[in-house]
Amino acid sequence: MCDGRVAIPLADDFEDSEFTVSVDRLTNAGHEVVVFGSKAGEIVTGKQRQARATIEHAAAELDPDDFDALVIPGGYSPDHLRLDDGVVDFVRRFHDRHRPVAAICHGPQLLIEADVVRGRTLTSWPSVRTDLENAGAQWIDEAVMVDGNLITSRNPSDLDAFTGEILRHLRAPSGAAAAR
């Protein structure tokens, strides 16, 4: 039984644990995870070289309406993906549906490119702070920050809080968690 579908955009040099821990916790909670990126069938490797994943779909093949949440791992993957118009468009269209969008570490770089951070409060890896502020967001240094449908965290040490918040939003009645 699948409680919901979660889309995860991925490219080479993703932060291994931010991907693997998120996938493990989501699938253990009964959610289906779909990995997408620039090219279906491509095999991508984490920056620590401890994890690999196969891109199941190109972003252009997917409809945001088919998913309940979007989770963006960090590492250098978001920086690679922000150059892919299809991925950026998917992120923007998904966000506009007011469903949970979670980004950890460098993940908010993809949110900046999708132009969805203006007027919002987020956290991230410290080096992304200025980029977020220049894009119109307020940055705070917290383990997890929730602003409407956006859930953000700083780094792998925040994974418990990050994945816990994602799962809480997925359990909430439709729209209830995003309204907080």
Is 144:95 a contact under the CB 8 Å cutoff? no
Q: Map residue 161 onto helix, strand or coil.
A: helix
Of the listed 105, 112, 145, 159, which one is catalytic? 105
β 4-9/69-72 pair status: parallel
Is 19:37 a contact under the CB 8 Å cutoff? no
Q: Map residue 178 onto helix, strand or coil.
A: coil
- The question of whether 105 is a catalytic residue gets the answer yes
Q: Which two tokens stand for residue 81?
A: 């993906």
Instruction: Provide the annotated active-site residues.
Output: 105
